[in-house]
Amino acid sequence: MIPPGHKPGSRAAVPEGEMSHKQRLLAGLPYNAEDPELTDDRIAARKLLHKFNVTLEYDDVEGRKEVLRKLLGSFDEEHPPFIEPPFFCDFGYNIHLGKGFYCNFNCVMLDCGPVRIGDRVLLGPNVQLYPVGHHVDPAERAGVAGLEHAKPITIGNDCWLGGGCIVMPGITIGEGSTVAAGAVVTKDVPPYTVVAGNPARVIKRLRPGEEREAGGVDGHPPQKAARTD
């Protein structure tokens, strides 16, 4: 089960050859997802998610916050996240949320690698964050018997990810950026840009302080930029 107060990286250095598969996962090394310790951690997360998504009343704000304290790696207590159920993740303890995070329905974070999200970030419905990956060689992949690998996903302050977008392993989304609805992000997103498409590409560059919208994100119509010059 997940130890109380567990934080990734809170372990003494262990030679790679002596690491458990959980230690390998937390260190960003290939790991066996079927390892019993990791299986126990996933089960513990599923139980917390069932309580969050199904058991608790929608207006039980304190109850939801308490579940998130047990589930997530960290979040800002003074400006706690608001996550619309249902929400799904693998372990929870690899997720770190900044101030005022908002997440719409059906978000998926496969946190086999770290998911680090900055302040005032908004996620639309059905956003999917995928730090985890498998070998493309089927012999190496070996179904569920092969080793998995994971790379961190980092999202900077003041970002907006539109509904249904997908973020692939190892991606950094720079602060102030917008990812249009349905985009598939396969490369890093520069700060203060709007990206769209599959694969996502930059369609607009913004200046900090300007209010601009890409249009079509989460189904909202385009709006004219508010100029400050």
Q: Which phi and psi (to 5°) does residue 109 adopt?
A: -125, 105
Rounded CA gap, 37 and 156, in Å? 32
Helix residue ranges, H only, 30-104 = 36-50, 61-71
Catalytic residue status for 134: yes
Kindly name the residue from 6, 21, 79, 134 that is annotated as catalytic. 134
Rounded CA gap, 32 and 49, in Å? 23
At 130, list the tokens: 């995928």
Taking Cα atoms as reference points, which of 194, 199, 121 lies closest to residue 154? 121
Catalytic residue annotation: 134
